[in-house]
Every structure is written in C-alpha cells, then in structure tokens.
Structure 1
Amino acid sequence: MPEFNSWLPWALMSAAFAALTAILAKIGVQGIDSTAATFIRTIVIVVILGCIVAASKVMPPLGSISPRTYIFLGLSALATGASWLCYFRALQLGDAARVAPIDKFSVILVAIFGVTVLGERLSGINWLGVALTAVGLVLVALG
C-alpha cells in the first residue's frame, strides 16, 4: 500500500471506496437478508485485513496493547457493526442515491462530536462548511 505523507489522499480514497460500497452493496443485498449480507461482507474484510496485517508485520504483541486501546477499539467496532447493519438494511429498503447522503450525515456529527468530545476547534468558515454540507445532504436525500 502506498504511503502518502498527507491525510488528504487517504480521505479522497476513502470517499471513493465509500461510494463504491454503496453501489456494490445495493446490488449485493438484493435477494438476501441485509444482516446476512453484512456478515458476508465482514468475513471478507476480516480475511483481507488479516492478510495485510500479516504481510506488513505491523501487529504488536497483544499484551503490549493498553486496556484503554482495547476498550475504545471494541466500542468503535460495536459502532461500526451497528452502522453497517443499519446501512445495509437502509440500502435494501431505499435507493442508494438517497440512503448514502443520509449516511454521510455522519460528517456533521463527527464535526460536532470532535468539538464537544475531543476538544477540537473549528473556525467560522469550517462551521459554514458543516452547515452547507447538512443542507446539501438534505437536498440530495429528500429533494
């Protein structure tokens, strides 16, 4: 995997893969329960990430990882799983072009949580961007 020195290429690739996720998942959930579809997807992810971790030899000894890290990664995994289950069910019931923008409401929530929970700071122009993003999401999803 290429190592870029900036977060931006990784964020752009994340957006592109997220877009593909919506389209491919919408096709994939046809004719199967959304929970089973999420399970199959998760197995594929676990196998691929296991191969990447093994090949890159980046896994530290399990005993060297702090309990706090385990707790927060575990909570993050629970949130991810809940998100995926809800996302796949929404895709099964609705149009990908309407479901995905609502899912991306997480962008607004991350800004709010980043400020309130993590103590991050956003400028006035950043908050304007958050507000415009919210308006855009509503227009795409409900318009």
Structure 2
Amino acid sequence: MESNTRAWWIYALFSAGFAALTTIFAKIGIENVNPNLATAIRTVVILVVAWGIVLFQGNVVNILAIPQKTMIFLLLSGLSTGLSWIFYFQALQAGKASLVAPIDKSSLVLVLLFSVIFLGESLSWKIILGTGLIFIGTLVLII
C-alpha cells in the first residue's frame, strides 16, 4: 500500500510540472493563432500520444470490455476536457498566463464540492483549510 501512496504522489507531481509547461508553451504558441485552432492542434498531439501508449501496451483489445456506464462517463469527461481547453485557450490568448492559470486551477474548489456531493467523499479539516487557502489565493490574484 505504501508504494501505491508514493506512486500517486510522483504521478501528481509530474502532472503539475507538465501542466505548468503546458500553460507556458500554450501562451507562446497561441500568439498569432486562433485559440480554437490551437486547441485542435494540441488535441491531435494528445490523441496520437495517448493511442500510441495504448497500442504499445496492448490495451486496445480491452476497449470492448468497458461497461456502458463507464464509457458514458469517460465520454462526458472527454467533452468536459475539450470545453475546458477551448475556454482556457481563449482566456490565455486574452489574458496573462500568471492570472489565467490560477483562476483555471481554482477548479480545485469545485472538485472539492463535487467530490462531496457526487462521490460521497468525506471532508477533513486539512482539505477544507487547503481548499479555502486556494480560494483566498485566487481572490488575491484577481482583485
């Protein structure tokens, strides 16, 4: 169990690092490009990489075994991701990366609320305090 705890931390740290690079690269990359076109280009790259990994690992055969409910929620997640990227690139082209990214990451506050409401996850004082600090920090940046 301890190794799994460490594994998710490592993955989360890599995710944060690449998310930061994503914002910097995107801000530079959308300078003279329509944000929707930029999102489409980025999506093709992600599509190729993700399917390349699935094919390399031999997991494509598992696609038919995915339960319908799971597939529906994966599709809804994909739709939400796409809409998030479209609006993110619009905001990034119009605003400063140093302000757009923290506002985008304030979605963590919504994740906390949604995880309690829809997933039945419990709250601890650390989660409430940390989320409150994120919310306050976002307000400080935008005011």
**Distance change (3 Å), C-alpha of 1:61 and 1:125:** closer
Question: Amino acid of the residue matched to residue 82 of structure 2?
Answer: G
Q: Secondary structure at the match of 2:119?
A: coil
Q: Secondary structure at the match of 1:117?
A: helix
Alignment of 1:1-143 (within 5 A): 5=4, 6-140=7-141, 142-143=142-143
User: With structure 1 as the length reference, what TM-score do the two structures score?
Assistant: 0.92
- Matched-pair identity in %: 47
Question: Amino acid of the residue matched to residue 54 of structure 1?
Answer: L
Structure 1 residue ranges without an equivalent (≥5): none
Structure 2 residue ranges without an equivalent (≥5): none
The whole-number CA distance in structure 1 between the counterparts of 2:63 and 2:14 is 30
Deviation of 1:60 after TM superposition, in Å, equals 3.7
How many residues of Structure 1 are paired with residues of Structure 2 in the alignment?
139
Question: Amino acid of the residue matched to residue 88 of structure 2?
Answer: Y
Question: Amino acid of the residue matched to residue 95 of structure 1?
Answer: K
Deviation of 1:58 after TM superposition, in Å, equals 2.3
Question: Amino acid of the residue matched to residue 130 of structure 2?
Answer: G
Q: Which structure: greater helix fraction? A: 2
Q: CA RMSD in A?
A: 1.3
